[in-house]
Amino acid sequence: MAKRRRARPTIIAAAIASLLAAVAGTPAGAADDAAALKVPRFVSLHSDKVNLRTGPGRQYPIEWVLTRKDMPVEITAQFENWRRIRGWDGTQGWVQEHMVGGKRFAIVDKGKNRPLYDQPDSAARTIALAEPGVIARLVECHAAWCRIETSEVSGWTKRADLWGVYPDETLP
């Protein structure tokens, strides 16, 4: 009488390996999560020195070095652990994914100083003027208004006066 071979140990080992990989949160899983995020999207620079390359890899030359931590940038494409970004001035290039983060900042758009109000209303009291190029943390946005915060002041400004948030986006 011949014995039947059981496939059960192989199936159990595969199931255990899958479970351990899911619990451990493998790096491949993290990359898949980042790749699942929508493109385009706004993020911010994670460092005061970010190399902007001409292509998605270290073999591509550095075209620019970005030097403003927390500067908002828009991810326009993804390839493996590389992100193509665009800055508010139109500068584009590729950076490693760990050089950008999900914290949301905005930059006061070009032109003139923009008023910051104590309420989301043009008739509200003006508490400060924000100069073009100022980077501020986005606290919340709804309708036509966003509340921003710097180390010195927090207030409301018109969404149209900021770069780093989409016209139909609601935060938080």
Q: What pLDDT sits at residue 110? A: 83
Q: Give, in words, the CATH class of 33-103.
A: mainly beta
Q: What contacts 147, CB < 8 A, 6 or more positions away?
A: 120, 138, 139, 140, 141, 154, 155, 156
Q: What pLDDT sits at residue 35? A: 57
Whether 77 and 46 have beta carbons less than 8 Å apart is answered as no
Question: Hey, what are 126's tokens?
Answer: 């003006």
Task: State whether the Cα torsion 74-77-82-86 is positive or negative.
Answer: negative
Question: Hey, what are 62's tokens?
Answer: 């550095």
Q: Is 162 helix (H, G, I), strand (E, B) or coil?
A: strand
Cross-sheet strand order for the sheet of 62-66: 62-66, 50-53, 92-96, 82-86, 72-79, 41-45, 100-101
Question: Hey, what are 74's tokens?
Answer: 């828009």
Q: Give, in words, the CATH class of 106-163.
A: mainly beta
Closest C-alpha among 165, 161, 166 to residue 112: 161
Mean pLDDT, 10 residues at a time, over the chain (172 residues)? 40 35 36 71 97 98 96 98 96 97 94 95 96 96 96 96 95 89
Question: Hey, what are 127's tokens?
Answer: 């508490």
Domain spans of the chain?
A: 33-103, 106-163
